[in-house]
Amino acid sequence: MVMDLQGEMSGKEWKEEEIVKNLGMAKGAVEKVEVRGNRVKVVLKDNEVAEKVVDKLKEGGKEVLGGGVVEVKRNENWVGIVVPGMSVERWEGKMEEMKEMIEVENDIKLMTMPRWLANEDRRKALGLKSVRVVAHVVRESVRVKLVEEGMNWDGRKIQVRRYVEEKQLVFCTKCAMVGHNWWQCERKRLRCNICAVDGHAGWMHRCEWCKVQRKSCEHYRKCAMCGKGHTVGEAREGNCLGVRAEMMRLRSLHY
């Protein structure tokens, strides 16, 4: 688990020993502490210890770190894998046992409890005998190794795939399209994500009639992906054909 502590103190004022001591942790519980400017990133080895630390910060206030802390957040950039063909009869209600078996046989730690990709109603309605399971590992390098080399399971190697979640959709603020970031965009001209007009970005948008800036209004409201009259926010909620097409592409990477 990674905690990002943002405070008003400079890097010179943060002391690693004091951070560990004030948070009530043994030194062995900390994998590393990085100080950059007024930000401190504390990487903890154990999830349970991290939860206790978060509770302590909530109860005792952020002053336990010496004052000046304005924000504490957890950085949970875990990545998912899809494990195929798990027997419903064998593993129904036994996800803790499955988690332990995966961890022991592969010498890894799963950050979440495995879960079925088909809910209980669908499993019963379709009479499914085996269903894919999704779980999360701590970082991309662990996932890459599992995908490329296979996962040890019950004395054999099985193929696992990448799991892509909806929150992994990427919107470009340069061309107002989905599927890439602005620094990857090959388009030369800016396109507004509010009115879909070339020549300016959303943060530069201004309605010439009602003078509204940087947001949609009754005069300007158009999606650059599908041409419909909805905002990027509504597109993110799945009300856009462009977003739906990108979601289908992402899902095809692991099914």
Same domain, 67 and 120: no
Place of tokens 């336990």: 64
Q: Are residues 177 and 250 in the same domain?
A: yes
Residues 67 and 142 both lie in one domain: no
- CA 201 – CA 40 distance, rounded (Å): 33
Give pLDDT tens digits along the chain (255 positions).
Answer: 444 555 555 555 556 677 677 777 776 777 777 766 556 666 766 666 666 766 666 665 555 555 545 455 555 567 888 898 899 999 999 999 999 999 999 999 888 889 998 888 878 888 888 888 998 898 878 888 998 899 999 888 999 988 766 556 778 888 888 888 787 788 888 888 888 889 888 888 888 888 888 777 878 778 888 888 876 666 665 568 888 788 777 766 544
Residue 126: predicted pLDDT? 81
Neighbours of 166 (CB within 10 A): 12
- Predicted pLDDT at 94: 92
Q: How many domains in the chain?
A: 3
Helix residue ranges, H only, the chain: 16-22, 47-60, 88-91, 95-106, 120-126, 140-149, 232-236, 241-252
> Do 144 and 59 fall within a single domain?
no
Please state, as a whole number, how many other Cβ atoms lie within 10 Å of the Cβ of residue 119: 11
Same domain, 171 and 152: no
Structural domain including 92 reads 79-163
Long-range own/partner contacts, residues 240-246 (CB < 8 A, 24 or more apart): 242/177, 242/178, 243/169, 243/178, 246/169, 246/178, 246/179
The answer to whether 212 touches 221, Cβ cutoff 8 Å, is: no
The domain boundary residue, chosen from 145, 163, 181? 163
Q: Are the C-beta atoms of 153 and 102 separated by less than 8 Å?
A: yes
**Whether the predicted model's global pTM rises above the 0.85 cut:** no
Bridge-based pairing state of the strands 130-137 and 115-116: antiparallel
The answer on 112 and 54 residing in a single domain is no
Are residue 173 and residue 255 in the same domain, yes or no? yes
Let me know whether 146 and 170 are in one domain.
no
CA-CA distance, 223 to 225, in Å (whole number)? 5
Rounded distance, CA 197 to CA 94, Å? 54
For residues 155 and 193, membership in a common domain is answered with no
- Final residue of a structural domain among 109, 136, 163: 163
What is the radius of gyration, based on Cα positions, of the chain? 23
Q: Are residues 172 and 251 located together in one domain of the fold?
A: yes
Select from 75, 91, 110 the last residue of a domain: 75
* Claim to verify: residue 158 and residue 169 sit in the same structural domain: no
Residues 155 and 217 in one domain: no
- What CATH number has the domain bearing residue 144? 3.30.70
In this prediction, residue 2 carries a pLDDT of 47
**Buried b / exposed e along 44-70 (16+ C-beta atoms within 10 A):** beeeebbebbbeebeeeebebbeebbe
Residue 1 is predicted with a pLDDT of 43
- Beta partners for residue 161, in sequence order: 82
